[in-house]
Structures are given as structure tokens and as C-alpha cells.
Amino acid sequence: MNTTLLIKNANQVVTSRGASKEPLTGKAFKELQVITDGAVAVSGDKITAVGPTAEVQKQVNVDEKTRVVDASGKVVLPGLVDPHTHVVFGGSREHELTLKLQGVPYLEILARGGGILSSVEATRAASKEELVEAGKRYCRQMLAQGTTTAESKSGYGLTVEDEIKTLEAIREVDRAQPVDLVPTFLGAHAVPKEYKENPDRYLDLVIEEMLPRVVEQNLARYCDVFCEEGIFSVAQSRRVLEAAREMGLGLKMHADEIVPLGGAELAAELGAVSADHLLVISEQGIEKMAEAGVIGVILPGTTFYLCEDHYAPARKMIETGVPLALATDFNPGSSPNNNLQVVVNLACLYLRMTPSEVINAITINAAHAVGRPDKVGSLEKGKKADLAIFEAPNYEYLAYRYGTNLVSSVVKNGEIVVEV
């Protein structure tokens, strides 16, 4: 098959290769596979060669139909993977910013009927078509910033029909635009106000009615739960996750964000793919996650936007052997940011992660966190031709320049879908 796309002469091609079976940890997590004067060849939607430009050009057939991109002075990375987002929701919550600036804690905003519950009202009021249009808009923004794959959670419906509506909208958004969305059911995101006096009755609804519908209609790959004080306890979270596992869904958790309840330990015990947030994770939780191979998905944009005075202990987790990924947590309240480039900056400055660690955390390790390391997250022969080209002389420049979209081009399934 002739080469349909050839990207050549890149200052650096960062492959993130060699980790399709297990996420990177330890010494390997600190290292990057970097090719200087690099090239990537594509046939159809698959990568056919990666290496120095001179070598790749000897391996491939180029004719008048081949699109040739000169990436001189630029960096080529795998398409970025965002493993924790809430892309589909109704409304927005900019009015809560004043409360945050006045120092009102997130849980208090929630208790006043704001926070998640405010987005629940807006999502319930929105039609599926309105949710789809908003989701497509947000995905276009993500794509323009280099993200080609993202996890997308429900969780703002909190009724059977509204959760199904949201997951159906996620599926339609996935089909309607280039960013691949990996769907997660998050019916246990909050206790809706109609069940405020009896959260366990709401969980009965989640387990007995929502989950069977989700599985029957094949609407989600994962089930998530918000394990937090004032939301769902460890015991309640266990109920949901064990039921989801029995129905064949993979497991994820919002864990140990505000109060150290032991969510990380539960994630390790149940074999969850990831535990996310982890600002106040215990030392035992870190050790258990490392032993079980649970990926820690850290969301520094949320911590930054909520003006918290501490971040997740990333260095301790890395030293202990927890595989780490990074995500935006894009949502209408606590992290209205869908740009992984911003997360790169925050992770270096506030998590004290190195640029090489951060790149691995938004590519191959993030691909593991969404169950697609065999398809995306690295530039290797046979993988999907998803990649991003940045106006940067080297990969460290992405961590150095904050607040600027450095994307020059984005390739999805072998096609150039963004060209600046």
C-alpha cells in the first residue's frame, strides 16, 4: 500500500513507544523515546514507519498522491489522550466563580444546590440534540489543541432517562466528529435532591435500573463513582462498583479528592483501571495502588481552579511505583478547561513532574487509562495514525510556554483534520 501521508524533517518525533502491555512506571516513566530529524509515514489510517527521516524515506513509496508535510523546526507527538472528562453536559456555571473567590468551599456550594446539582438541572432540561451540539463544540476545541482521544462521563442526569440520554448523546458526539470518546457511566456522581434524605434508595435505582439499561444498550465501557464525604461512602461505592463489575463494565473512581476516605484502597481491592483526583490519598492508598497497578489519574487543572492549597502527591506516587496519567477533568464547574497543554504546564509547576514524565502521562499512560494502549498513545508501526504537530523546537518547550495553543497540525486516522 502506498504512503498516503509522510511527515518528515521534524526536530523531534516523540514516540512514547514500548509500553503497549503495561503503563510506564519507575525509570521508564522518566524517559522518552525521541527521534531527531524524525519522520512518520502513514498508509490509510495506520502508521507504517517511524524513524529518522532518511531511513523512513528509504522504506516507503511516495507518489503524486502522497501528502508530504515538512515538520522542520517542529515536534511530533502521539495524539494526546485525555482520560477524565465530562464533555457532555447542559448549561454552564460561571456564576459560581464569585462564590469561589469569596472562599466558599466546593461542598458548601453543592449543599446550596449549586455545583453538580446545578448542572443536573441544566442537563435534565436540555434535549439530546442540544447536548450533542454542545459536545461537538467542546470536542472541536479539544481537537484543535491536540487531543484525539478522550474519556467522557455521564453523571449530570441522575435519573434513568437522563443518564441514558447523556450516554446516547456521547455516542452521537463520538460518531459525528474526529475525537474518539470512550464512554463512562457515572450515575453515582451525586445524590439528586429528590433522594437527599435517602441516598441508598438512589443507589438502588443506579444498580437495579440504570446499570442494566446501560449494559443492555452497550452505552459505556466503564462505571465510575464519586467516593467522597457527603456524597458516597466507601461502602456505598463498593455496592455500585461490584454490581458494575458483575455486569462486565470496567471500573473507575473519583477518590480521595477532599477527604481521605480510602477510595484509593477500594480501587486497588476491586482492580479498578484508575483512581482519579487523589489530592489527599494516604500512604497506604499509594502502596495499594502501586501493588495492584491501578493508574492514578491526576487532575491539576481542578486543583488550580478550585484554589486549593495542595496538589496530589505525584512525586510520592511516582517513587512508589504508581502508574500516572494526567487529564483535564473538563466539566462545567470545577475545571472548565479542555486543553491538555494547560495541564502540561500545571503538572510541571505544581506536581513537580518533569516534561518527559508529563508527555508520557498524556500519551501512552493515558491510553492505558482508557483501555486503548494497543491503538493510540504512541507512534508505532501498526497503530492508529493519530498525532499532533507542535510549533516547538523540542518537547520541553510545551512545558515552558503556558497559555498558548502550540498546535500546528493534527492528524486523526491518517487524515489532517487541523491545520493552522
Grid cell listed for 170? 456521547
Contacts of 242 (CB under 8 A, 6+ apart): 270
Residue 1: the pLDDT is 66
Q: How far apart are CA 19 and CA 317, in angstroms?
A: 19
3-state secondary structure of 404: coil
Return the SS3 of 78: strand
Give the C-alpha distances (Å, rounded to integers) separating 213 from 154, 187, 236, 244, 414: 14, 12, 20, 12, 35
- The proportion of the chain whose per-residue pLDDT surpasses 90, expressed as a percent, equals 88
The distance in angstroms from the start CA to the end CA of the chain is 29
Helices (H) and strands (E) in the chain, counts: 18, 16
DSSP for residue 4: S
Which pTM does this prediction carry? Answer: 0.96
Cell of 64: 503524486
DSSP structure class, residue 164:
H
The closest of 134, 200, 197 to 165, measured between CA atoms, is 134
Mean pLDDT of the chain: 95
pLDDT in tens, 280-291: 999 999 999 999
Average pLDDT over residues 1-29: 90
The tens digit of pLDDT for each residue in 126-140 reads 999 999 999 999 999
**Is the model's pLDDT at 19 over the cut of 80?**
no
- Note the pLDDT tens digit of each residue in 33-92: 999 999 999 999 999 999 999 999 999 989 999 999 999 999 999 999 999 999 999 999
